[in-house]
Amino acid sequence: MACCEVLFGTVPPTTSPTEAQIPLYIDRTSKKVYYWNGTGWELTWEIKTAGVGTPGVVSIDPNSPIYVGEGGTLQINCERLKTQCGFATVQEVSEAVSSAINELVKSLNTTLQEMNSRITSLSNTVAQFDSGLTSLNSKVSQVDSALGSLAGRVSSIEAWDLCAKTSSCGYSTGGGSGGGTAGVTKVTSASPEIQVSPATGIGDVILRFLGGNVTGNGQNGFFDIGNIRVQWGTFTTTTGNLDTVTMQYPFGSAPYTLIAMERHASGWGAVAPMPTVYGTQDHPTDPANKFLVSCVRVLNNAQAALVGERTKFERADGQWFGIGRKP
């Protein structure tokens, strides 16, 4: 064996070194160094693998981003570091931030559009409300105008002091020659069908509707009071059951009221009388000029026993009276 040979192996040493061998032994498996102290091998130094809280040798994986560079310095491979740790590049971060900002701006634009739509809807509602207020103000103005006109008329009526406080004629707006109070001293009518009494002087006012002249004869005729027509006439039934009667003078429409009655009640008889009962009905097609009349005679006991019935339709002479609208 050559001089100065260093002993090594894969297990701890068991035999003493020779004189030609250095008294050192390296265990490649455990990475321990032993020294021969003359009597036995003594553990002098041990290469330990570094751990948490334990100093030692650090091994570097070939795929690790950390590697030994020139001069034994530690270097970092950024590509491997990004791959193993999932780090983003500056460009990726920039693109992500730009995308996030764009999405935020898009969301803000959508929100602003919704707000603009709501503001437009609110503006339309306010415009409609303003239009409604304008219409209401117009109607209130019309009502105010009507109330003003009514107030003027009420004032005029109040000024018409029908107590006639002075004895002169006409309406006075100031004191008379004797210093009298203003008031109405004379009430007149523009219609010949209305008469005012007294015409002058002091007293209660009485209005009489004269009605104008009577048209017709004693049995058939009419007269008008303003828009009201009073009419009367005679008729003779043919069957006694809804016979048509034509009025000599027309109404403006179906009469307000119309009454038919017996013309010659003497035919009823003095003992056990048999009266006649009349009824009327509007004409179905021409109520302003015609009406329907029925006449029923109520028989006494003797007559009822003969004919076998208490009442019967009868031909009779009648008269009628009606009030309706002037044509």
204 and 226 housed in the same domain? no
Looking at residue 199, its pLDDT comes to: 62
Looking at residue 159, its pLDDT comes to: 47
Looking at residue 315, its pLDDT comes to: 80
Looking at residue 172, its pLDDT comes to: 43
271 and 289 housed in the same domain? yes
DSSP 195-223: EEE-SSSSS--EEEE-----EE-SSSEEE
What is the span of the domain harbouring residue 47?
1-59
290 and 238 housed in the same domain? yes
Looking at residue 301, its pLDDT comes to: 85
5 and 106 housed in the same domain? no
176 and 108 housed in the same domain? no
41 and 95 housed in the same domain? no
Please state the domain count of the chain.
4
Looking at residue 243, its pLDDT comes to: 93
As a dihedral over the C-alpha atoms of residue 22, residue 25, residue 28, residue 32, rounded to 10 degrees, the angle is -130
Given a cut of 50, the residues of the chain with pLDDT beneath it are: 1, 159-183
123 and 195 housed in the same domain? no
CA nearest to 327, candidates 281, 287, 293, 292: 287
103 and 117 housed in the same domain? yes
51 and 80 housed in the same domain? no
Looking at residue 156, its pLDDT comes to: 55
195 and 150 housed in the same domain? no
- CATH number for position 245: 2.60.40.3940
49 and 100 housed in the same domain? no
